[in-house]
Copies of this chain bind each other. A is one copy, B any other.
């Protein structure tokens, strides 16, 4: 409701000055229109590891863009266990799946210290009325998410443990690369347990696959630090497409 004046603190970079603007929502707007988006964005304090952005069942009010750090979304299974539904890196948008309900269907939690841009949905809709391009971008984001979820369903129903983890690593790598980071070596923000949870595998299986991948020279892993040593092989395992062509990113 309150569109906070645009306080320029280190943590409060304006959209036009944000290094992620070409990946994030502003990409749908012209330079001069970006400021309008900028004014409705709320930039809260950084979330510490483990803090929640919203909880499953909270009233749906906003969508969020990750500015730095990493967020996971999860929901509770019938048995009360946690089921992770997505990982979100800087420039990626989350919260859109709550749009047709009054409440968020998942919880969102910081996996490390994380800065967030909050976009109140009501105002985003108003802005969408002015800028058809923004509206189309939002729909494209959701459409892309649907396709990505279907890729994920394919992974879960057809791929074995090796292929799942290869796919996961390649996907992460291209998302890092898209943000201008190395796709060869990066740091996982999630634990083996979280990775397994997301991929439908037991922790022990994840660990065993990592060990095997290292023995075969596909990757090198020291704790959460990952280095891809044979991207060709890894991509082949992941199922076809190489790391080279224009990378994939995730949103919504």
Query: A residues near B, CB below 8 A?
Result: 75, 77-78, 81, 83, 85, 96-101, 105-106, 125, 129, 132, 135-136, 138-147, 149-150, 152-154, 156-158, 199-200, 239-240, 252
Q: Are A75 and B150 in contact (CB under 8 A)?
A: yes
Q: How many copies of this chain are found per oligomer? A: 2
- Across the interface, which residues of B come within 8 angstroms of A144, CB to CB? 100
**Distance between Cα atoms of A149 and B146 in the complex (Å):** 8
**Distance between Cα atoms of A96 and B144 in the complex (Å):** 10
Q: With A144-B100, A145-B146, A146-B145 in contact, is A85–B153 under 8 Å at CB? A: yes
Cβ distance A121 to chain B, nearest Cβ, rounded Å: 10
Nearest chain B residue, comparing its CB with the CB of A154: B83
Say whether chain A's binding surface is mostly helix, strand, loop, or mixed. helix
Q: With A85-B150, A106-B150, A142-B139 in contact, is A156–B200 under 8 Å at CB? A: yes
Nearest chain B residue, comparing its CB with the CB of A157: B200
**Distance between Cα atoms of A150 and B97 in the complex (Å):** 10
Q: Are B78 and A240 in contact (CB under 8 A)?
A: yes
Cβ distance A170 to chain B, nearest Cβ, rounded Å: 13
Partner of A135 from the list B100, B135, B143 (CB cut-off 8 Å) is B135
Task: List 6 tightest A-B contacts by C-beta distance, closest first.
Answer: A157-B200, A100-B140, A156-B156, A99-B143, A149-B149, A100-B143
- Across the interface, which residues of B come within 8 angstroms of A136, CB to CB? 125
